[in-house]
Chain A
Amino acid sequence: MGNGTSIGRVRGHGSAHSGTHHWLVQRYTAIANLFLGLWLVFSLVTMPNYEYGTLMTWATGPFNAVLLALFVVSTFWHARLGLQVVVEDYVHDHANKFAAMAALNLAAFGGAGASLFFIARMVMLAAGQESAAAALQSAMGGR
């Protein structure tokens, strides 16, 4: 007893030690969402204006860009876990449940991947503008 397969341990032979995984990860991502969400709301509220340049300067700094990327990962992960529970609660047919979970996974991973790409693209745009400005300055004689 205790040295069998995982399913054997579940079937009356003790815990497989993975039943709380979903519950725990939902809490871990919730803690990250709490801090990162408050950071995002605070940043947006205290921003002087919502012009393109202001937002890009804010979002492409190394500190903010990393936090923004972490916010994306944490929220999409948390949303995937939360919507999974909704699917399990309301979609009982096995085939429909499989389809709903497949669609949910595609949307969550696709959305998070696209968002991370957009953040990377924003940082590259800002870096490109900086080097273009530096090239212009040196072409005009140093200053």
Chain B
Amino acid sequence: MATKNRPLSPHLQVWRWGPAMLVSILHRVTGDGMALVGLGVLIYWLASLAGGPAAYEAFSAHAAAWYGKVVLVGLTWAFFNHMASGVRHFVLDIGAGFELKSNAAWSVFTPLFALAATVVTWAAILLK
């Protein structure tokens, strides 16, 4: 097809990486992760509670296993990262925060906040 050879606009590999680019990509990755994995876990969690003690025991065993913890910690990080970059989007939506320096500063802040919030959350759970 002739349309296959049409020139393409420059894609990811030609741009110099900046923090805003990383935050944008992470926003989509964490959103997709929560939509595809997180909502699945949510359904399983609610179904196991509705199914009675034995069903919930099975859920608990998976959640406590190493792979369950990896998924839950990953979802916690995805939640805080998506939340932080989402709040950043609200600020950008009102037309603020586009100056080069403040844009880069808040872009660096959002993933750092997500990591810190994830560590604090799981410390609170595991040190109980």
Number of A-B contacts (CB under 8 A): 70
The smallest C-beta distance from A52 to any residue of chain B, in angstroms, reads: 5
Q: Mark B18-40, 1 if CB is under 8 A from A, else 0.
A: 00000000001001101100110
Stretch in A1-9, A94-102, A119-127, A132-140 touching the partner: A119-127
In the assembled complex, the CB of A111 is this many whole angstroms from the nearest CB of chain B, namely 6
Interface size of A by CB at 8 A reads: 33
Q: Are B46 and A79 in contact (CB under 8 A)?
A: no
Question: A residues within 8 A CB of B93?
Answer: 27
Q: Does A14 contact B (CB under 8 A)?
A: no
Bound-state Cα–Cα, A30 to B90, Å? 10
State whether A125 and B50 are in contact (beta carbons under 8 Å apart), knowing that A45-B121, A82-B31, A114-B43 are contacts in the complex.
yes
| Cβ contact within 8 Å between A34 and B79 | no
Q: Which residues in A have some Cβ–Cβ distance to B below 8 Å?
A: 27, 30, 33-34, 37-38, 41, 44-45, 48-50, 52, 55-56, 59, 68, 72, 75-76, 79, 82-83, 86, 111, 114-115, 117-119, 121-122, 125
